[in-house]
Amino acid sequence: MFINYEDIQKEDITIDVRTTEEFNSMPLFEYNIPLINKEEHDKLKKRIYLAAPIILKGFIKNKEEIKNQLLFFSYHGEKRIIIGCSRGRLRSPIIYFYAKKLGIKAKILNKGIKRFYIKKPNNLKNLYGFLDM
Calpha distance 57→49 (Å, rounded): 14
Q: What is the mean pLDDT of residues 56-75?
A: 97
**Does 133 have pLDDT greater than 50?**
no
Contact 131, 122 (CB under 8 A): no
Helix axes 51-73 and 91-101, enclosed angle (nearest 10): 40
- What pLDDT, on the 0 to 100 scale, is given for residue 117? 85
Q: Residues with Cβ < 8 Å from 82, sequence gap 6 or more?
A: 3, 8, 12, 13, 14, 15, 29, 106, 107, 108, 109
Give domain 2-131's CATH superfamily. Rhodanese-like domain (3.40.250.10)
**Does 26 have pLDDT greater than 70?**
yes
pTM for the predicted model, two decimal places: 0.86
**Does 34 have pLDDT greater than 60?**
yes
Q: What is the 3-state secondary structure (H, E, C) of 48-93?
A: HHHHHHHHHHHHHHHHHHHHHHHHHHCCCCCCCEEEECCCCCCHHH
SS3 label, residue 24: helix
- What pLDDT, on the 0 to 100 scale, is given for residue 119? 64
Is the sign of the CA dihedral 71, 36, 90, 94 positive or negative? negative
Sorted by where each begins, the domain ranges of the chain are 2-131
**Does 53 have pLDDT greater than 50?**
yes
- What pLDDT, on the 0 to 100 scale, is given for residue 61? 97
pLDDT tens digit sequence for 93-131? 999 999 999 999 999 999 999 988 876 555 555 444 444
pLDDT tier at 83 (50, 70, 90 boundaries)?
very high
**Does 79 have pLDDT greater than 70?**
yes
